Structure 1
Amino acid sequence: MNDPVTDMPLVNPGQPGAFMPELLHPVHHFSARTIDFSSQVALMAIINRTPNSFYDAGKTFGLPAAVDAALKAVDDGADWVDIGGVPFAPGPTLSAADEADRIVPVIAAVRKASNVVISADTFDPYVAQRAIEAGADVINDTTGLQNPDLARVVADTGVHLVITHSLAAPRTVYPRPTYGDVVTEVAAFLQDRVNAAIDLGVAPENIIVDPGHDLNKNTLHSLELTRRFCEIASLGYPALAAVSNKDFIGETLRQPKSDRLEGSLAAAVMCILGGARIVRMHDVGASRSTVTFTEAALGWRQPAYLEHNMGDTNRPTP
């Protein structure tokens, strides 16, 4: 097998030390891109068009700022942009029409300018329909398919669906979540929701799962999911790790959001080695380097070039 970019032979794909999940449908076709999750990790960038978003505190709330941020993420190496208008965190309800007005223009503008994979981060069927009409390839539902009508919209349009583990109703408090075995229970929840989605007409080859780090989970739960990510990947569907700058990283390292990059990258690599095939990250440039290096170390791609100790004399790498 050759690398699709360099046309050079891939080196020892699937090195020991990493879990290689047996995917039921490794190759996924989006509207303008095809991703083979058996030998590629997709880098998902985060675009929040909210006035008080978790990470950027509203910097991408304005329409031009949101579009510019999405296209810059593509330039920086994102394979995928996730565009949302309502945070998961508890808060006041936003009408479906207002949510759609936030994200649909961004999706339309990005689709016009790029063939990047686009997901709409929403749990509302009306918003999902509008987003798909604007060019979204994926609906990213953080509620674990609490509204079956969302699955029906996905099934009718043939787009992809991300099914995420969470326990709370949308935008509500879920105090002190407890689990007997968090990974086992999350995996069982996801399998149940996958079965429900398929029963509602969603194509199995269009399903992605996300264990939902920090969503109705404390730091110990999220660390356990990171360590045992292979059990989520073993479900057989491409698994998404949304770990970037989350509170479990901050609490583990005693760091505010602005200082969590290194911990976020470490968590992403751990999840990739555990079988994650999509990582949702804020800092696209640093994450692109991290994902590319990890893919090369796994034998899925060649280095960009080879000079060090390749000739009769040693030359320092520029």
Structure 2
Amino acid sequence: MNVRLLAVALLVLTGCSKDPALLDGGEDTNWGDQPALPIVNGEVTFTLNAADDHVSVMGTTTPRMPNFPELTKKPGVVRGYVADLSGTPLEGASIGIRSTAVGGAYSGASDETDAKGYYEIAIPWGATEFYAAGYTIDYGEGRAVMSLAASDGKLGSFPSTDGLVKNFVLLSYGVFNKDLLSQKPWDQTNYAGGCLYITYNVSDPLSSFNPPTYIPENAEIEVTLTPDGPGLYGENKRFVIRKKASLSNYGFTIMNVPVGRYTLSAKVKDGPALHMEAVGRYASLHPYFGLRPTEATGSAKLLFTPDSQAGALQTLPGRGNWGLLQIKVKRPE
């Protein structure tokens, strides 16, 4: 074999022996050891006073993040990884950025993650921000698009020339942005978990119109969410919410429930089961999500309802994509 043929053979062998765990730039994509998943089980009870109108059942915390492979910044490029909470790379997640220059014209670019959970986007010139970060999961008998959380909790704008490394995580519950949460703790889109709104009529002792289906003033409405098996990351926690009925408000929001399947039950504390009915915008929006059946007394199955099914590339980053399913409760006739 002459020298030229030997050199060609060595180049071919070198190309064939490329480490599949390396990116084209030679960086290691080995995810390594991951921390154990948070344990979410047991039962917790919340008692809301007459003036209380919302509760986050998982509080204001966010689960610990997985360990990501290290990446260095590339000028003019935004790149990173997308993973679930266990540190498993997610293929097919959509990440979108847009840049604006003087005059307000936008230029956008996007990418989908590969089998390593990796994405890389050349940044259009200007001041840049993320406009989309979504991932579609199998949920019940359907498919639901979920928003992705920035692993460092930051989603501000950045200059296009510097480049950026930004990793994203699929959460089943948790706070996306604590600054926004401090301004609007009642806004369900500040949380990754599912949500629902319980509404009702209250008897008014000063009114002559008090149907027997109305909830007596000062009675306690008791709503229970019981998991029908493990959630997205094995969550298996039961939530009991008790709310004192009052003429000062006619409903309350239950937010940040770990994504999964539930049985929803409602009753007057120490009293009869209540009739439940899905009402409002999301009542019949999807054939597979929401309350099933849409009317029931005592208990029914519940799957949270996506706010938008437009696709992962139309899903805002770090902002909950679960619609506020409205359920009206009343005493049986």
- Give TM-score scaled by structure 1 length: 0.24
The structure with the largest strand share of the pair is: 2
Whose radius of gyration is greater, 1 or 2?
2
The structure with the largest helix share of the pair is: 1
- Give TM-score scaled by structure 2 length: 0.23
